[in-house]
């Protein structure tokens, strides 16, 4: 028995099968791509939200810290500079200055700008150091009556000096972080948001007033955004 094969029908069937497979494959590919794009979009938005939160938090924290510096630290430093003795002992009700933020929540900074991640680490480190010094400061007596214990005076003087230096370091790194978060949000993430003019002005450092380490941080962050 002879079997007649319709070549046209065979070719048509073959092409149809290929088209079906291609369609199925293409549909699966585009579905996977759309799903991946959606996930990436969600990740990006989450990163933007966390950056906005951090920027707002740093703004509030800085204003609180600057108030503490002006009201508590600066008068004591002035006493030390003029008479080598803290005359007025004032303190606030204790408030923790340790910033409880997890570094791993901001690991995406490494992809955006690794120096920004390192900067956040410095802020967390100095906030913890400052908080520890505040606790020591607040544990000392409110005042003293003559005759004055020289050991106490020395301890108070040393504590005030440490408090002042640690506060200055923390303020510097906070201002630098505030400014560079602004760059990330505005230049990279293309976000519209508000910022404190006074803090932005303070963050425009005069390099002549900085030490070599601080200059390195300011110039390093500035150059890192050009990469």
**pLDDT at residue 4, as a whole number:** 46
Q: How far apart are CA 174 and CA 172, in angstroms?
A: 5
Per cent of the chain over pLDDT 90 is: 59
Average pLDDT across the chain, whole number = 84
pLDDT digits 0-9 by tens, 206-217: 999 999 999 999
Q: Is the pTM of this model over 0.95?
A: no
Query: For residue 1, what pLDDT is reported?
Result: 45
Residues 99, 174: contact at Cβ < 8 Å?
no
Residue 65 pLDDT greater than 90, yes or no:
yes
Sign of the alpha-carbon torsion through 185, 187, 190, 191: positive
């Amino acid at each position: 028995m002879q079997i007649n094969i319709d070549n046209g029908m065979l070719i048509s069937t073959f092409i149809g099968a290929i088209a079906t497979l291609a369609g199925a494959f293409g549909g699966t590919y585009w579905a996977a791509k759309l799903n991946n794009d959606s996930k990436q979009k969600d990740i990006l938005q989450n990163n933007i939200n966390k950056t906005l939160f951090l920027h707002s938090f740093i703004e509030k924290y800085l204003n609180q810290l600057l108030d503490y510096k002006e009201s508590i630290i600066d008068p004591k430093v002035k006493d030390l500079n003029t008479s080598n003795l803290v005359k007025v002992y004032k303190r606030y009700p204790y408030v923790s200055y340790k910033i409880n933020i997890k570094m791993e929540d901001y690991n995406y900074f490494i992809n955006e700008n690794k120096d920004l991640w390192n900067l956040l680490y410095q802020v967390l480190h100095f906030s913890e150091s400052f908080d520890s010094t505040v606790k020591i400061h607040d544990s000392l007596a409110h005042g003293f009556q003559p005759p004055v214990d020289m050991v106490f005076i020395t301890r108070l003087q040393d504590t005030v000096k440490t408090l002042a230096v640690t506060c200055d370091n923390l303020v510097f790194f906070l201002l630098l972080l505030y400014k560079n978060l602004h760059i990330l949000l505005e230049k990279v993430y293309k976000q519209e948001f508000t910022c404190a003019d006074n803090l932005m002005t303070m963050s425009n450092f005069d390099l002549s007033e900085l030490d070599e380490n601080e200059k390195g941080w300011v110039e390093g962050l500035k150059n890192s955004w050009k990469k």
